């Protein structure tokens, strides 16, 4: 690719402007801007060549939306692990020493809750909640729904990013093609000017032909400059998506002519029904709303909590000890167990549970409405995107044929003008038609590519 010198100057100008602006900000922002432009980069052997697959992989590593959705999916996976673990009993150890003041006469302490001056507790505690949610597994069901919802949102973010990267990737390719077309058009305009000047010297054409050729050359020089600017901007747009450390020194593989085949409409509908991420998001949202409603109803039911304790609670830290009030019985065992079962029956809470149930019912209704809207939108977008892709594909043959015809017309009119059989206007029109046909074909190619990627946001990759 050409034009790296002006691009480097442009990048330096942008860097200088941003640095000057950052100089008015707090120190942290200034340091961040400085590190962006001044950090060392590993040397490379020439520009990096990227395919579309490479660009998509690089963009996923830098896109904030995808990274956030990926983090949410990982967190939802951990929530599911925690919800599953909450179904099982928990085991904990507890060791305590209670030292209290004695009464000076007897071995008892001054606190009636302790039966001695020294109390030792060393327990193993098994805790189990036997609530309706535990028995029905609604907690893990909700965590599973959240996990599926997070994965669906991650897929939505990935597909949206893929559409954006693909658009910018092929926008760069088309801008490079149009730049090459503009260079060719300028060469043709210069050849036309040379022909006109030679014919004028031979008194075969008027000076007006030379003037028209000069005007055409000037116009093509302006078009070349505009095409170069568009190419540089397209490169900047793609670089923002791909590189964490902003870098313009890369090239892309031009595979625009390798158009993917369009599946049949019935197959596209089947793919959309199976793997549409937006529809999956709405389905999982509804599933979670239903579970939330179930959990809200379970709050009206009693809950049972069981704690089983095994260990010692004695005035001596030992398996056997003598009780001060019954020394005649000798050492007695301290090791033992006790079980506490607590039944909690909700009676009155000033309508809090009823209000939470109403909230869950409202969210359930909202989720159902969102699902039906997502289904309608899916059908509309699928039909619309498919029709757009099909039309763009069908027009490619016409656009390709137009390029061939325009090229042949330019060749013939050039020969006719050289032979003095055609006016300069025919040659100018032929050159304009050739440029227009070439650019229209490139626009048609990217139109089809973008129509396909829009369809793939619904159906998944095909």
Do 337 and 450 belong to one domain? no
322 lies in a domain?
yes
316 lies in a domain?
yes
Dump pLDDT digits (tens) for 86-107: 999 999 998 998 888 777 666 6
Do 311 and 444 belong to one domain? no
Question: Is it the case that residue 403 has pLDDT exceeding 60?
Answer: yes
Dump pLDDT digits (tens) for 114-157: 777 888 889 999 999 988 988 889 999 999 999 999 999 999 99
Do 176 and 159 belong to one domain? yes
Do 71 and 107 belong to one domain? no
DSSP tally for the chain: helices H, then strands E: 11, 8
Do 339 and 379 belong to one domain? no
pTM above 0.95, yes or no: no
251 DSSP β-pair partners = 49
At 17, the pLDDT band (50, 70, 90 cuts) reads very low
- 309: CATH: 2.20.200
Summarize the confidence of residues 388-394 as an average pLDDT.
Answer: 95
Question: Is it the case that residue 14 has pLDDT exceeding 60?
Answer: no
What per-residue string of b and e applies to 1-37 under the rule 16 or more CB within 10 Å gives b? eeeeeebeebbeeeeeeeeeebeeeeeeeeeebeeeb
Do 296 and 306 belong to one domain? no
102 DSSP β-pair partners = 109
Do 129 and 102 belong to one domain? yes
Do 234 and 326 belong to one domain? no
- With 0-12 CB in 10 A as exposed, 13-18 as middle and 19+ as buried, what is 328? exposed
Rounded alpha-carbon distances, angstroms, from residue 401 to 6, 429, 451: 36, 18, 21
Question: Is it the case that residue 28 has pLDDT exceeding 70?
Answer: no
- 435 is in which domain, residue-wise? 41-86+148-300+356-459
CA dihedral 162, 163, 168, 174 (to 10 degrees): 120
Q: Report which of 93, 178, 88 is spatially closest to residue 139, judged by C-alpha positions.
A: 88
- The structure tokens listed for 28 are 């942290």
- The structure tokens listed for 88 are 């099982």
At 13, the pLDDT band (50, 70, 90 cuts) reads very low
- Tell me how many domains the chain contains: 2
Rounded alpha-carbon distances, angstroms, from residue 409 to 373, 398, 405, 434: 52, 16, 6, 8
- For the ranges 146-150, 219-223, 313-317, 358-362, which has the lowest average pLDDT? 313-317
Choose between 33 and 294: higher pLDDT. Answer: 294
d(C-alpha 198, C-alpha 204), whole Å:
9
- For the ranges 2-11, 55-64, 246-255, 283-292, which has the lowest average pLDDT? 2-11
- 452: CATH: 1.20.1600.10
Q: How many CA atoms lie within 13 A of 144 on its CB side?
A: 9
Question: Is it the case that residue 368 has pLDDT exceeding 90?
Answer: yes
Do 125 and 204 belong to one domain? no
171 lies in a domain?
yes
Question: Is it the case that residue 398 has pLDDT exceeding 70?
Answer: yes
| Residue 229 CB contacts under 8 Å (≥ 6 apart), including other chains | none
Do 208 and 99 belong to one domain? no
143 lies in a domain?
no
d(C-alpha 62, C-alpha 244), whole Å:
6
Q: Report which of 317, 314, 308 is spatially closest to residue 337, judged by C-alpha positions.
A: 308
Do 204 and 317 belong to one domain? no
The reported pLDDT for the residue numbered 173 is 96
Do 120 and 164 belong to one domain? no
Summarize the confidence of residues 434-441 as an average pLDDT.
Answer: 96
d(C-alpha 175, C-alpha 235), whole Å:
9
At 293, the pLDDT band (50, 70, 90 cuts) reads very high
The reported pLDDT for the residue numbered 21 is 38
- The structure tokens listed for 3 are 């034009």
Cα 401 to the center of its chain, rounded Å: 39
């Amino acid at each position: 690719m050409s034009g790296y010198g002006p691009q480097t100057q442009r990048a330096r100008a942008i860097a200088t402007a941003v640095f000057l602006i950052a100089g008015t900000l707090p120190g942290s922002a200034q340091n961040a801007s400085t590190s962006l432009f001044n950090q060392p980069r590993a040397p490379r052997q020439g520009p990096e060549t990227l395919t579309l697959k490479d660009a998509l992989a690089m963009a996923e590593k830098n896109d904030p939306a995808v990274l956030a959705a990926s983090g949410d999916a990982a967190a939802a996976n951990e929530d599911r692990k925690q919800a599953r673990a909450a179904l099982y009993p928990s085991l904990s150890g507890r060791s305590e020493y209670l030292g209290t003041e004695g009464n000076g006469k007897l071995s008892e302490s001054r606190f009636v809750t302790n039966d001695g001056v020294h109390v030792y507790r060393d327990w193993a505690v098994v805790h189990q909640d036997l609530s309706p949610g535990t028995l029905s597994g609604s907690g893990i069901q909700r965590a599973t729904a959240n996990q599926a919802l997070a994965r669906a949102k991650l897929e939505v973010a990935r597909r949206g990013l893929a559409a954006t990267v693909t658009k910018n990737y092929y926008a760069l390719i088309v801008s490079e093609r149009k730049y090459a077309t503009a260079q060719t058009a300028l060469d043709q305009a210069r050849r036309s000017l040379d022909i006109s000047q030679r014919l004028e010297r031979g008194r075969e054409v008027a000076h007006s032909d030379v003037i028209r050729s000069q005007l055409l050359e000037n116009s093509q020089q302006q078009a070349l400059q505009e095409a170069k600017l568009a190419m540089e901007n397209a490169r900047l747009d793609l670089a923002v998506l791909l590189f964490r450390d902003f870098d313009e020194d890369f090239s892309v593989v031009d595979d625009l002519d390798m158009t993917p085949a369009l599946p049949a409409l019935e197959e596209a509908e089947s793919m959309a029904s199976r793997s549409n991420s937006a529809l999956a998001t709405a389905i999982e949202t509804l599933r979670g709303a239903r579970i939330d409603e179930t959990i809200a109803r379970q709050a009206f039911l009693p809950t049972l909590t069981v704690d089983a304790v095994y260990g010692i609670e004695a005035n001596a830290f030992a398996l056997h000890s003598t009780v001060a009030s019954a020394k005649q019985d000798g050492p007695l065992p301290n090791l033992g167990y006790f079980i506490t079962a607590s039944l909690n029956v909700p009676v009155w809470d000033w309508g809090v549970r009823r209000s939470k149930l109403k909230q869950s019912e409202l969210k359930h209704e909202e989720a159902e409405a969102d699902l039906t809207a997502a289904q309608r939108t899916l059908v509309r977008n699928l039909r619309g995107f498919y029709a757009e892709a099909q039309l763009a594909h069908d027009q490619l043959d016409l656009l390709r044929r137009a390029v061939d015809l325009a090229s042949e017309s330019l060749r013939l009119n050039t020969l006719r003008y050289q032979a003095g059989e055609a006016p300069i206007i025919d040659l100018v029109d032929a050159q304009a038609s050739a440029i227009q046909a070439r650019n229209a074909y490139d626009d048609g190619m990217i139109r089809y590519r973008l129509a396909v990627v829009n369809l793939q946001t619904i159906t998944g990759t095909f």
